[in-house]
Every structure is written in C-alpha cells, then in structure tokens.
Chain A
C-alpha cells in the first residue's frame, strides 16, 4: 500500500513519466519529441532550462532537483 501511495504521489508530478521506459514501437525521434510534449507544459517541471531553475529555486528558497535523463 505504501508503495502504491509513493508511486502515485510521484507519478502525479510527472516523475513516473521521467523514469518509465517508453514503448518500443516509437522511433527515437518520436520519443524525444513526445517527451517534450508531455512535460514541457507540466507545471511541476522546468524543461531544459537550468538558469530558469536556479532563478526559481532562489525565488522560492527551495533546493533544485536536476534530472539528466537520456530518452532514446
């Protein structure tokens, strides 16, 4: 039950998308483009913009979590 809750909370913020393996049928280009489409408008994430992340962290006084995730 605890695991389900943890996964549920993290997935709700898009981390499930970050960690999950993509279906094998998509081309590598499609996977990269789809990833951007899925997460670029997600309010929980700053997409490919580190400086914006540092500025936001200073503004809200929170630590940064920077994930480098290779897609294809």
Chain B
C-alpha cells in the first residue's frame, strides 16, 4: 500500500467514463494508473450479490496484482506497447454518467446533507441506462451489452482467486484445454496485453471480436510459452450473466420480471421433461410495476417454463435472455407455456 497513492471513490457520479472503463456490475472496481492516466491494470471482480461477492477475489489476490502493477510501473514507459490494449476505448457517448438522459436527476456530488444514498449513481446503472435507451428506442440489444466482460470460465479456465492470474483448473473439452492451457499455468499476457488479474482477462475477452485467435502467454515451471486459443463465433454463448446486478432489468425486459433458474435432474424428472427440453423454474416473480408483468399474466413463483417464444430446447436463463433480447423488440408480444402442479398453461406478455 505504501508504494501506491490510494484514492477511494464511493459513487459513479462524476466518474470520467473516458478513463474508468471496467465491468460496471462489480461492486468493487479497482483501476491502477500512472499519473499521466495510462491504465496499468484493473482488479476487483467483487460481484454485486452478497453470497458470491468474494468468489473471484481475495486480499492475497489483490496484493499479488499490486505487485504486478509495481513491476509494470518500474518498466514504464518502456513497456507502453504491452499496455496499449488496456487503455479505455474512446470516444464515449457521455463524459460522466449524470449526463446520460436517464441519469440526469443525479448531481455530480453526493448530497451528504440530505438523502445521501439516494443521490448516489451505482456503477451498474451506467449499463442499465445504456440498455434501456436502446430498448426504449425500439432496438434489440447488441452482443456486447448482453454478454459483457466474460469470465475466463467461458474459455474453460477457472482462476485461483488468491493469486494474480494463476490457472486453478481447466475444463476438459474446452477452448483452453484445446490450446494446451494447464492447471498451474500463470497467465502473463493475452493478445498484446500484460495480464496481472482476472479483471485484466475480462477486459481482453470483452473486446474480442470472433472469429479470432487469442495468444495467451503463460509461465509453466521455469519456462514461458505462447498458447493459441481459437475463438469461433458463439465462443462466449455459455457466459453466465445471471449473477449480474444489471440482469434484473433484463428480466423485466424479457421475462416480465421473472427470475428463472435451471431445474435439477430430479426436478426435471419430477416434471416429466424430456432430455434437451427447456425447463426453467420461476424462482422469483416480480411484484411491482413493469417487473410484475409476468405476475399479471398469471405466473406464480414455482411455475416451470417449458416453452418460451417458440423456444423448446434446453437453455439456461442467461442464454434465453440473449435469445429474446438479441432478437425481439420492446412492445412485441411473446407467448410461453408453463407447468403448475403438472398442468400445462399458456400465457402472453408484452416485452419491455
């Protein structure tokens, strides 16, 4: 800590969006910079949902990333080439969040004399607003807004959260396994970028345009090697977005406020579902406003969705959100079929 100048910011109000670009669903986002505003690294995959908050981060991991940043700082500006890809993408549509038409009610400073928490823009609201403007304007949501900042797990890589970027596990039959990535490898770089954290990897993956190849520099034992990942179209189709805070608004748009979870094998059997058939449990049904559209259409918590907008194949909630919001527009009607106590029912909702 003594080797850094530490700045704590507790709101997204007045955040320089041309400089601070990271996964806005995280409730702890760290950016390491040179004083000339060159970004060295990002850290902080603290998820918004409390039960999974520390699933991808730790004190040890942060310290390891900080050591990596110090090495980059010592090598700067000689290493500028390895940092180029890490720099924010410009231009940005709004300089600060409160300039966005949907966030104009917020001020640039918190109201410590009044309702201070209510005066705070949360990071996830930046992405919420971006999506909402597109939907309200009659558009479908583009891929990067539906699958933001994929985790390395989508490549088949599970990282060790207590390190900067050590591979803990590689899933068989994955893109990473095919490239030769092994458990114990230390990720040193992806593409032309230096990597010192999981968030750095997310940044790289967020900006991939498939089909493409992605060279991963790893240290294995005492040697370093380059491994090449082949990313075909749809490489990130299994990216889980269900944990994201901003997915609540996607549920309003696509499902009329239903929060859907996959059934266990036992539950699938109990409901008489064939292998490969859609089966999603309505774990929560919104109760108010536009989040209660499914409720008003008759859906109750515990119902099992078996067909949605003509889709009957087995998908998880994230994939179904992408299917619906990537193709359908606000105002369109979709019908769906659900099971309640073994009885099949049908209903219709209007998409938001």
Instruction: Write the residues of chain A forming the contact surface with B, with a CB cutoff of 8 angstroms.
Output: 3, 6-7, 9-10, 13, 15, 18-19, 21, 27-29, 31-33, 35-36, 39, 44-50, 52-58, 60, 62-72
Contact = CB atoms under 8 A, between A and B. Distances in A.
14 contacts: A15-B1, A28-B117, A33-B116, A44-B1, A50-B9, A63-B5, A63-B40, A64-B32, A66-B31, A66-B33, A67-B8, A67-B28, A70-B10, A71-B10
A33 B10 CA distance: 11
B179 interface: no
A46 to B, nearest CB: 5
B108 to A, nearest CB: 11
B28 A19 contact: yes
B116 A45 contact: no
A39 to B, nearest CB: 6
B10 A53 contact: no
Interface residues of B, number: 47
Contacts of B30: 65-68
A36 to B, nearest CB: 7
B225 interface: no
A35 B10 CA distance: 9
Given A69-B9, A69-B28, A62 B4 contact: yes
Contacts of A6: 59-60, 63
Contacts of B105: none
A56 B5 contact: yes
Interface in B12-27: 12, 15-16, 20, 22, 27
Given A45-B7, A69-B28, 17 more contacts: A3-B59, A19-B46, A19-B59, A32-B116, A35-B10, A44-B6, A48-B10, A50-B16, A63-B4, A63-B69, A64-B34, A65-B32, A66-B9, A68-B9, A69-B8, A69-B10, A71-B117
Contacts of B63: 6, 10
Given A6-B59, A69-B28, A53 B5 contact: yes
Given A32-B117, A70-B123, A64 B33 contact: yes
A70 to B, nearest CB: 4
A29 B110 CA distance: 11
Interface in B224-269: none
B90 interface: no
Interface in B292-342: none
B3 to A, nearest CB: 6
B34 A63 contact: yes
Nearest to B110: A32
B104 interface: no
Contact of A60 (B5, B44, B120): B5
Contacts of A71: 10, 117, 120
Contact of B70 (A28, A46, A63): A63
Contacts of B70: 63
Contacts of A9: 1
Q: Which of B28, B34, B73, B116 has the most CB of A within 10 A?
A: B116
Contacts of A27: 117
